[in-house]
C-alpha cells in the first residue's frame, strides 16, 4: 500500500463518519481513528452581529470607593500575611479524590510540604497537587469542579 492509497483511505473514513477502521493484509496493518465519529454534532446558526457606530468615550467623574480606604488597606494587609497555593496548570479543580470521598483539605486543616491539597484534571489525567508550604488552610479560593487557569490562587495558607 503506498501513500496515495493511505490518503484515499483516510478521506474515505472521514466521509463515512465511522469511529475506527482497521485494514490488514499479510504484511501491512493500519488503524485509523477519528475523534468526532460516533458523537452527534449539532450546529446552531447564530444571529448575525451588526456593528453600529460607537459613541466617543467621555471620561466620567471619579466614582467614590464603596469600601473605605482604611478597611480596604486592612483587608489587603490581612491577606498579605498568608501564602498562596497556586494552580501549576490549566484544568478542572477538584477538592476530593472521588465524588463519594472526603475533601483533601478544608479551612482550618494543617498542611505540610508534600501533602496533597487537591486534584486538577487536565486532558483526562488527574494530577495531584501537593502543598509547597506548611501551615493552616485559611481560605479555599476556588469552588469544587470549576475550571482553573495557570497560576490562579487556590488556597490561602497561614504559615505561622
Cell numbers standing for residue 58: 467621555
Contact status, residue 142 vs residue 156, Cβ threshold 8 Å: no
pLDDT at 48: 56
Q: In CATH, what class is 83-158?
A: mainly beta
**Where do the DSSP E strands lie in the chain?**
20-24, 29-33, 83-86, 91-94, 110-111, 116-122, 125-130, 135-140, 146-148, 153-158
Contact status, residue 15 vs residue 34, Cβ threshold 8 Å: no
Give 110's Cβ-side CA count (13 Å radius): 2
pLDDT at 57: 57
Contact status, residue 90 vs residue 122, Cβ threshold 8 Å: yes
pLDDT per residue as tens, the chain (160 positions): 677 777 777 777 777 777 777 777 777 777 777 665 444 444 445 555 555 555 555 555 555 555 555 444 444 456 678 999 999 999 999 999 988 999 999 999 999 999 999 999 988 889 999 999 999 999 999 999 999 999 999 999 999 8
How many residues would you count in the chain? 160
Q: Where are the domains of the chain?
A: 3-33, 83-158
138 vs 146: CA distance, rounded Å: 20
Amino acid at each position: 500500500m503506498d501513500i496515495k492509497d493511505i490518503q484515499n483511505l483516510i478521506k474515505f473514513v472521514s466521509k463515512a463518519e465511522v469511529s475506527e477502521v482497521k485494514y490488514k493484509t499479510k504484511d501491512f496493518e493500519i488503524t485509523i481513528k477519528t475523534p468526532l465519529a460516533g458523537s452527534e454534532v449539532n450546529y446552531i446558526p447564530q444571529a448575525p452581529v451588526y456593528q453600529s457606530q460607537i459613541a466617543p468615550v467621555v471620561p466620567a467623574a471619579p466614582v467614590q470607593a464603596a469600601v473605605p480606604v482604611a478597611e480596604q488597606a486592612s483587608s489587603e494587609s490581612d491577606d498579605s500575611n498568608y501564602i498562596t497555593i497556586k494552580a501549576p496548570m490549566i484544568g478542572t479543580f477538584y477538592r476530593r479524590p472521588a465524588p463519594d470521598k472526603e475533601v483533601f483539605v478544608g479551612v482550618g486543616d494543617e498542611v505540610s510540604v508534600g501533602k496533597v491539597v487537591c486534584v486538577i484534571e487536565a486532558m483526562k489525567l488527574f494530577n495531584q497537587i501537593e502543598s509547597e508550604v506548611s501551615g493552616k488552610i485559611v481560605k479555599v479560593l476556588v469552588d469544587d469542579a470549576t475550571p482553573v487557569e495557570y497560576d490562579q490562587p487556590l488556597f490561602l495558607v497561614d504559615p505561622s
